[in-house]
Structure 1
Amino acid sequence: MTLSCFELGERMLTVEEAREAVLALAEGPLPAEAVALAAAHGRVLAEAVVSPIDVPQRTNAAMDGIALAWPQAAPAEGFLRVAEIHAGHAAALTLGPGECAGITTGAPLPAGADSVIMREQLAEEEGADGRRRVRVERPERVRRGQNVRRAGEDIPRGSLALAAGTRLGAAELGLLASLGCAEAAVRRRPRVALFSTGDEVTAPGDELPEAGIFDANRFSLMALAAEQGAEVIDLGILPDSRVAIGEALARAAEEADLVITSGGVSVGDADHTRAALAEQGELGFWKIAIRPGRPLACGRLGPRGTPFLGLPGNPVAAMVTFLQFAAPLLARLQGREPTAAPRLVAVAEHELGSRTGRVDYLRGVYRSDAEGRLRVAGTGAQGSGILSSMAQANCLIEITAERAAVAAGEAVTIHPLFRFP
């Protein structure tokens, strides 16, 4: 049974319950569109791709040398070189016993050949009859069928090349190109409208008031949304005004597939986002047994029922909750399996503090030791406003709700974070 965020009330939810409720906001994947291959990087396939050809299309040479039918014993006088075959040209001949043809990498094997001997293993000389002959050095090292790429050995004609829901990276785009695909049917990018709230929030580049803070959340969240394949609609910073927030939510609901705010979703007197959401749509609000990020609003906006997530205002909490809840929702909108973040197991290098009854996501740095084991250490202070802890980290350390702490030397689950090399 799928959980609905409108049926959960005010009880404390587990991370898994909250994630399932967020995913229920997506009624299905977005529509498909045809996109040129050159513009398809990062997009998600809407349809499975079945190979229209064999890859490789013809049996061909894996290196430069000679093509021949390898006999039980190499002739003492060598093989008669009767032709030259180059990549991109058909091999319009049939080799007889004792004959060979010079061949370049990628060139099709001629009829009658089953092996390729690399150039470095050959000695060529002119025979008494004036014809070129090639002797194979160290013939005992030759294996019939060597250095040959068989037609269809990569992808046979009619086989599944890429499944629907595959996100297209460099390798996938190259694979589609090798099939002759000029375009791909992909899901439309989710449009994510995003804004920050709060009278204290100031845009970078503006003069910082005495009681102000620069708007870090919007830039972190826009980058995270882009990493997840979304098209971002930047709505800037809104003041602590229920009217202004309500008007922005109404506009965003018409343009976007998902609306995300940061700040204004707790129970403070100036937290107007929840009230504005209740006026513009349906509000499902919950407390999640998670640190950082306990207050989080979920709902739908406007006549289209556009999904809405109100993330916490603290920078680290906003990023952690985006990764745990918004990222799976964006995956589902694109037709990808909304699995949890990739997980690895590492050994804690020092004690990691926590508290039972909630899942803790600490910021950490993992590495591989001399024996190949993963080890992880925290980045230091773990407050939800310490954004430098996210900049230093290459993973989140997950400490489950039943653990009060993790001792040095104990195993712990980590979630690797995307980082540019």
Structure 2
Amino acid sequence: MMPLLSDVTSCLSSYDPDALPVRDAQRIINDFLEPVRETETVALLSALGRVLAQDIISPISVPAHDNSAMDGFAFRGADLDPAAPTTLAVVGTVYAGRPSNAAPQAGQCVRIMTGGVMPAGCDTVIPQEHCAAISDDSVTIRPGTLATGDNRRFAGEDLMAGRPALEGGRVIGPADLGLLASLGIATIPVTRRLRVAFFSTGDELRSIGEPLDAGCVYDSNRYTLFGMLTRLGCEIIDMGIVRDEPQALEDALRSACASADAIVTSGGVSVGAADYTRQIMAELGDVTFWKIGMRPGRPLAFGRISSDGKSAFLFGLPGNPVAVMVSFYFFARAALLRMMGANAPVEMVKVKSAAAIRKKPGRTEYQRGIMSTDAGGNQTVRITGSQGSGILRSMTEANCMVVLHDEQGNVSAGDMVDIILFSGLM
């Protein structure tokens, strides 16, 4: 049986929807959501950005044999003379990918190429450029040039057969494709793509290409939402602009329920929004309206709505362009990743603030920042300037978000602050 929002919020001792801390809202969303269970099998070249549905167990060891890490000469480390030059007789050549019957004895060596299988008894490789002398039938090594065991890769050094190669929940990246290919794996199980419907609300909004009447603005939120959802690898359903009219909103929400796992809206959730927004969402499901202790992006609606036996999780974001992006990144993004079954936490790093930052304790602030490296090689961050929630240009100038937590007050120049880099996030 699916839980109710009231069941989840009852776990918080001081739950107040009109003054909800960021961390409490994130916890409620996380506890209320349910991951998608359906999976599918995809070819390796179609797996980039998909979420691995289960652990991948390595069918082979990588590398499969002890092999050389260098072009050089393989021999027994015990032959090295620590006090005088060591001269070894060359008795053969070992190439990568070719079988060899070479079996050097004491005082002998074989020329070996990078990746060549180490002959029985050999445990050390000297790179050819480190040899003191090389002839057609011998090689000389100065004392102290290397130690026993140098430049040998062990079988299974990268990965042992029977061990997990990749863990379920991982978002597949380019290196993962290479690793799976090295194991001979051609297809992998992934969670199906999350279907997300999104639309903007507001009579003042116009689509690109339409005339801009007095008092109207072009709808930018659908484009940023499109970009953010596409980056997450969602299957997206763009429902356009929905007018500030009860039946239009109800029709849009019911239509979204029919085809989507989640719905993301922008606008219509602030204190000044028409009462019908709350009424319709309440009629369609289990939805709550919050005033989050944050800046920008205070209003937020969250819950689950249903229509004709189908349901979808709802994220009602504010209407201001920057507030939409901040609310998405710090509430909706993590939630959608959880629904995908992905393990992709956002990591914060600490850097010095290049200047003072004004901040009131008691709320979380997300300020647009530019991280750079100063003359001393230290990483510092400065905010982009005015932090108004409608200044979308500042998001294009920033390369990180400065996270100022609830308990923090004013920041002085030189203080350490938490930042989240946009690289990998956007």
| TM-score, normalising length: structure 1 | 0.91
Q: In structure 2, what is the equivalent of residue 33 of structure 1? A: 40
Distance in 2 (CA, whole Å) between partners of 1:290 and 1:297 is 14
Give per-residue Cα distances to partners, 1:46-98, cap 9 Å, x unaligned.
Answer: 11122221111111111112222230439979433222221111122322222
Distance in 2 (CA, whole Å) between partners of 1:53 and 1:234 is 44
Contact conserved, 1:77 with 1:133, CA < 8 A, in 2?
no
Please state how far the C-alpha of 1:270 moved relative to its aligned partner.
4.5
Distance in 2 (CA, whole Å) between partners of 1:404 and 1:3 is 36
Please state how far the C-alpha of 1:293 moved relative to its aligned partner.
0.8
Distance in 2 (CA, whole Å) between partners of 1:419 and 1:151 is 34
The 1:262–1:80 alpha-carbon spacing in structure 2 relative to 1, beyond 3 Å, is: same
Match of 1:91 among 82, 92, 100: 100
Contact conserved, 1:194 with 1:235, CA < 8 A, in 2?
yes
Contact conserved, 2:85 with 2:143, CA < 8 A, in 1?
no
Q: In structure 1, what is the equivalent of residue 28 of structure 2? A: 21
Aligned pairs for 1:370-409 (under 5 A) are: 370-409=375-414
Q: In structure 1, what is the equivalent of residue 76 of structure 2? A: 69
Distance in 1 (CA, whole Å) between partners of 2:367 and 2:67 is 53
Q: In structure 2, what is the equivalent of residue 306 of structure 1? A: 312
Distance in 2 (CA, whole Å) between partners of 1:397 and 1:181 is 41
The 1:372–1:410 alpha-carbon spacing in structure 2 relative to 1, beyond 3 Å, is: same
Q: Secondary structure of the residue that 1:353 maps to in structure 2?
A: coil
Which structure 1 segments of 5+ residues have no match?
126-131
1:197 partnered with 2:201: yes
Q: 46-55 or 29-38, which moves further after superposition?
A: 29-38
1:215 partnered with 2:212: no
Q: In structure 2, what is the equivalent of residue 128 of structure 1? A: none
The 1:419–1:330 alpha-carbon spacing in structure 2 relative to 1, beyond 3 Å, is: closer
Please state how far the C-alpha of 1:356 moved relative to its aligned partner.
2.8
Aligned pairs for 1:22-421 (under 5 A) are: 22-70=29-77, 71-73=79-81, 78-122=87-131, 123-125=133-135, 132-268=136-272, 270=274, 273-302=277-306, 303-337=309-343, 339=345, 341-418=346-423
Distance in 1 (CA, whole Å) between partners of 2:130 and 2:81 is 16
Distance in 2 (CA, whole Å) between partners of 1:284 and 1:5 is 9
Contact conserved, 2:196 with 2:235, CA < 8 A, in 1?
yes
Contact conserved, 1:296 with 1:311, CA < 8 A, in 2?
yes
The 1:171–1:60 alpha-carbon spacing in structure 2 relative to 1, beyond 3 Å, is: same
The 1:293–1:271 alpha-carbon spacing in structure 2 relative to 1, beyond 3 Å, is: farther
The 1:383–1:3 alpha-carbon spacing in structure 2 relative to 1, beyond 3 Å, is: farther
Q: In structure 2, what is the equivalent of residue 11 of structure 1? A: 18
Counterpart code for 2:348: R
Size of the aligned set, in residue pairs, is 413
Q: Secondary structure of the residue that 2:258 maps to in structure 1?
A: helix
Q: Secondary structure of the residue that 2:144 maps to in structure 1?
A: helix
The 1:420–1:309 alpha-carbon spacing in structure 2 relative to 1, beyond 3 Å, is: closer
Give per-residue Cα distances to partners, 1:1-27, cap 9 Å, x unaligned.
Answer: x99368567431110111112223322
Counterpart code for 2:218: F
Counterpart code for 2:404: I
Please state how far the C-alpha of 1:253 moved relative to its aligned partner.
0.9
Please state how far the C-alpha of 1:236 moved relative to its aligned partner.
1.3
Q: Secondary structure of the residue that 1:174 maps to in structure 2?
A: helix
Q: Secondary structure of the residue that 1:24 maps to in structure 2?
A: helix
Q: Secondary structure of the residue that 2:347 maps to in structure 1?
A: coil
Q: Secondary structure of the residue that 2:350 maps to in structure 1?
A: strand
Please state how far the C-alpha of 1:209 moved relative to its aligned partner.
2.1
Counterpart code for 2:22: V
Distance in 2 (CA, whole Å) between partners of 1:387 and 1:419 is 20
Distance in 2 (CA, whole Å) between partners of 1:408 and 1:80 is 67
Aligned Cα RMSD in Å? 2.4
Which structure 2 segments of 5+ residues have no match?
10-14
Distance in 2 (CA, whole Å) between partners of 1:396 and 1:76 is 60
| TM-score, normalising length: structure 2 | 0.90
Q: Secondary structure of the residue that 1:361 maps to in structure 2?
A: strand
Distance in 1 (CA, whole Å) between partners of 2:90 and 2:141 is 16
Distance in 2 (CA, whole Å) between partners of 1:212 and 1:271 is 22
Q: Secondary structure of the residue that 1:219 maps to in structure 2?
A: helix
Distance in 1 (CA, whole Å) between partners of 2:392 and 2:382 is 17
What percent of counterpart residues are identical?
41
Contact conserved, 2:258 with 2:311, CA < 8 A, in 1?
no
Q: 318-327 or 300-309, which moves further after superposition?
A: 300-309
Q: In structure 1, what is the equivalent of residue 12 of structure 2? A: none
Counterpart code for 2:405: T
Distance in 1 (CA, whole Å) between partners of 2:45 and 2:334 is 26
Q: Secondary structure of the residue that 1:100 maps to in structure 2?
A: strand
Distance in 2 (CA, whole Å) between partners of 1:198 and 1:76 is 84
